[in-house]
């Protein structure tokens, strides 16, 4: 019986040592920033692109969208990769990957630009219908602006 008792004492001590070492490693990693807030310099939470105005015109079965965007000085440079037109309830009208940005792409911090795209909808929206212009940045951030079809 004595040998069994000593084995359980040894197992208990080894387990306590392993738990203490694991806790020390986790605390060290957390304090050194390996586990904490790991992010890149252009993370999605830093992109603060704003749409300051937008217009949607219909010609036949094609929608032409123009949006004025502003990239604040404290936001990183960003590019627009997708333009979407949606009903205000979130239903997609159309989408386009062919984006024209004037004066340049990417949009630098503190710079304003005009984003244009055209798309052919799967469903139509009559003149006066409220719609949302949605722009998606290269970091995956979506910004939207509500306007009406003219």
With 70 as the cut, is the pLDDT of residue 2 above it?
A: no
This prediction has a pTM of 0.70
What is the DSSP track for 81-144? EEEEEEETTS-EEEEES--EEES-SSBPTT-EEEEEEEE--SS---TT-EEEEEEEETTS-EEE
For residue 42, the model assigns a pLDDT of: 47
In sequence order, which residues have a C-beta less than 8 Å from that of residue 136 and are 6 or more positions away? 80, 81, 82, 83, 84, 142
With 90 as the cut, is the pLDDT of residue 59 above it?
A: no
Domain 44-148 class in CATH = mainly beta
Give pLDDT tens digits for 5-54.
667 888 889 999 999 999 999 888 777 765 555 544 445 558 889 999 99
pLDDT-derived band at 103 (thresholds 50, 70, 90) equals confident
For residue 41, the model assigns a pLDDT of: 47
């Amino acid at each position: 019986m004595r040998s069994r008792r000593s084995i359980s004492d040894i197992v208990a001590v080894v387990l306590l040592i392993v738990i203490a070492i694991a806790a020390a490693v986790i605390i060290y990693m957390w304090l050194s920033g390996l586990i904490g807030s790991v992010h890149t310099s252009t993370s999605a939470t830093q992109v603060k692109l704003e749409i300051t105005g937008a217009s949607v015109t219909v010609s036949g079965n094609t929608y032409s969208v123009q949006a004025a965007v502003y990239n604040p000085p404290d936001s990183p440079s960003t590019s627009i990769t997708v333009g979407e037109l949606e009903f205000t309830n979130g239903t997609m009208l159309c989408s386009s990957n062919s984006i024209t940005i004037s004066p340049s792409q990417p949009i630098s911090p503190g710079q304003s630009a005009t984003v244009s795209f055209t798309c052919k909808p799967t469903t139509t929206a009559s003149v006066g219908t409220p719609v949302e212009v949605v722009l998606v940045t290269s970091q995956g951030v979506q910004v939207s602006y509500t306007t009406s079809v003219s």
